[in-house]
């Protein structure tokens, strides 16, 4: 594999949110095994903490749907590439949907499950309904059991840009129907 170069970083740019010249832009090009070359982009403001990130494949990809049945503790290490345009679904648990504030990232299954746990925990903090709190508590228990390999859960990524992937032999990939 070719040696990776340092990311391109530009500091002191005007932030689109607070307008201060405290925005740092970063662009990096990396090779991800079994996926190919990707460009990673991010913007971070040290004043207002604005953050935006995305991942794009170097080659044009077709719209895709990837499905993985998480069934073992070892599955927590499976690499996930999610573009800002992708929807990540955990049926009967929740989803991470694209939108204005959506970010692309490179993570693993455990990282996705932790993001979902934090999303549930943040939502339940604002909730007064005891039934909703109980359901959230049960979802958090389910996610923990999945992370320990004691329960199975399906993870689905749908990306109209094709810039996402689940890097595993267990993954079922199909063309995304529009």
Tokens of 164: 């996402």
The per-residue pLDDT for range 67-107, each reduced to its tens digit, is: 999 999 999 999 999 988 999 999 999 888 877 667 888 89
Domains of the chain: 1-59 (2.20.25), 60-178 (2.60.120.1040)
The per-residue pLDDT for range 16-59, each reduced to its tens digit, is: 999 999 999 999 998 887 778 888 899 999 999 999 888 887 88
The per-residue pLDDT for range 100-140, each reduced to its tens digit, is: 667 888 899 999 999 999 989 988 888 888 888 899 999 99
Give pTM, 2 decimals. Answer: 0.77
Mean pLDDT of the chain: 90
Q: Is the CB of residue 139 less than 8 Å from the CB of residue 120?
A: yes
> CA–CA separation, 94 vs 89, rounded Å?
6
Q: Is the CB of residue 157 less than 8 Å from the CB of residue 82?
A: yes
> CA–CA separation, 76 vs 96, rounded Å?
18
């Amino acid at each position: 594999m070719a040696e990776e170069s340092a990311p391109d970083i530009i500091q002191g740019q005007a932030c689109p949110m607070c307008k201060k010249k405290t925005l740092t832009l970063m662009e990096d090009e990396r090779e991800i095994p079994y996926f190919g070359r990707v460009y990673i982009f991010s913007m971070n403001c040290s004043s207002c903490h604005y953050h935006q990130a995305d991942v794009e494949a170097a080659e044009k990809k077709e719209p895709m749907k990837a499905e993985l049945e998480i069934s073992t503790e070892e599955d927590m290490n499976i690499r996930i590439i999610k573009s800002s345009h992708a929807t990540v679904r955990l049926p009967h648990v929740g989803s991470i949907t694209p939108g204005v504030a959506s970010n692309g990232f490179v993570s693993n299954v455990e990282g996705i499950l932790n993001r979902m746990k934090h999303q549930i925990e943040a939502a339940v903090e604002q909730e007064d309904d005891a039934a909703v709190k109980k359901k959230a508590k049960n979802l958090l228990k389910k996610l923990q059991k999945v992370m320990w390999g004691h329960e199975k859960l399906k993870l689905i990524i749908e990306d109209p840009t094709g810039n996402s992937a689940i890097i595993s032999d267990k993954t079922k990939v199909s063309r995304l129907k529009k």
